[in-house]
Amino acid sequence: MDRLDRTKELLMRALDDELAPEEQRELDALLADDPKLRAEHDSLGRLKEVTGTMKLRHPPEELWDDYWNTAYSRVERGIGWILVSFGVIVVGGWAGWQFVTDLIADTGMPPLIKAGILAGSLGLVILTVSVLRQRLFVRQTDPYKDIQR
Amino acid sequence: MSAGSTDMPESALMALASRGDEAAFGELVRRNMRRAYFSALGLTGSHEDALDLSQEAFTRALRASRRLDPERPFYPWLYGILRRLCLNHLRDGRARSVKLETAGSWLVAESRERAAETGPERTTEREELRRRVAAAIEALTPIQREVLLLREFEGLRYAEIAALLEVPEGTVMSRLYAARKALATALEDEL
């Protein structure tokens, strides 16, 4: 370990009361020799005093009563969403396929109209997926969405 | 699970939870929820995000509870999940539910009552200092912030932090030094 790293380590240990007696003597010698290091030591000591007067804000005590129930309902909702998504994909896929095959098999309809209906349906699907994807992306990345003025 | 589950040692609860006992897992949640919430609060600086991410960590832990090892403590395992969630959340720049006028309010001056006794000017000064300290901590990198919070606000020793983060103690001290230097620079006028 080089001198700088060793000095940093001693400074940190001193601030956090994790210094062994021999390390304290080593640090004292370094501080006596180096006014810049002494100034840094004192500055970090004052910082430690300032942060020592602060703590993390406690939430209302009632929050803990429902903490696990709320979290557990996510598990249930997750399972529900998986089942719903699976059902929608299977039924929607089957219905789409039926629609396309029936449309193609329909001999009474002019080919141009068939192509128009297919293009319109495909476009609608692409637009829907695109909008949903965009909304999901914004929801996940917009850093200002929940800021209340 | 037996009626006396609240007195059960953690390893026994973990053994039950790993076999699918949800009540035993619930007891593990009850014992660790505050600590998980405060870790997430320190990292994200938002009550809503801390609540959301800490609960999400427990639900993921429940889904992975078959992998629980009763020979090892529960919280470091949970913390690994929670830490990844919080760091991903910060990395992706996802929304934080912050009201502009209450930004930095995750941190409070411990002796607020005593400060109030010394008069409104002193209280205003302390409030300003609190805001500046919170802003300076928020400006740290997540890795530096994490180690500072574990040391300063959770009061963990270096060996405990090193075990939690699965890094050598030297790395803990090096990150702590970088965090404190950055804070000291940001709060130069106050020190």
Sorted by where each begins, the domain ranges of chain B are: 5-91, 101-190
Q: Which of A57, A70, A136, A128 is nearest to B92 (CA)?
A: A136
Whether B94 sits inside 8 A of A140 (CB atoms) is yes
Predicted complex ipTM: 0.79
The pLDDT assigned to B173 comes to 94
| CB contact at 8 A, B97 and A18 | no
Mean pLDDT, range B18-44, rounded to an integer: 94
Mean pLDDT, range A130-140, rounded to an integer: 83
Distance CA B79, CA B57 (A): 8
Query: How many Cβ atoms from other residues are within 10 Å of residue B27's Cβ?
Result: 22
Q: Where are the alpha helices (DSSP H) in B45-168?
A: 47-63, 74-91, 112-117, 120-138, 142-152, 158-165
pLDDT, tens digit (0-9, with 9 covering 90-100), for A76-95: 888 888 999 999 999 999 99
Q: Give yes or no for residue B67 having a pLDDT over 50.
A: yes
Mean pLDDT, range A8-37, rounded to an integer: 93
Q: Give yes or no for residue A141 having a pLDDT over 70.
A: no
Residue length, chain B?
191
Q: Give residues with Cβ within 8 angstroms of B98, minimum separation 6.
A: A146, A147, B45, B46
CATH no., domain B101-190: 1.10.10.10
Taking contacts as CB-CB distances below 8 angstroms, the residues of chain B near A43 are: 184, 191
Distance CA A21, CA B111 (A): 32
Query: Would you put residue B20 in left (φ > 0), alpha (ψ -120 to 50) or beta?
Result: left
CATH architecture of structural domain B5-91: Orthogonal Bundle (1.10)
| CB contact at 8 A, B93 and A143 | yes
- Nearest residue on chain B to A137, judged by CA atoms? B94
Select the residue of B29, B41, B187 nearest A47 (Cβ to Cβ): B187
Taking contacts as CB-CB distances below 8 angstroms, the residues of chain B near A15 are: 180
Select the residue of A44, A53, A71 nearest B180 (Cβ to Cβ): A44
| pLDDT band of A109, cuts 50, 70, 90 | confident
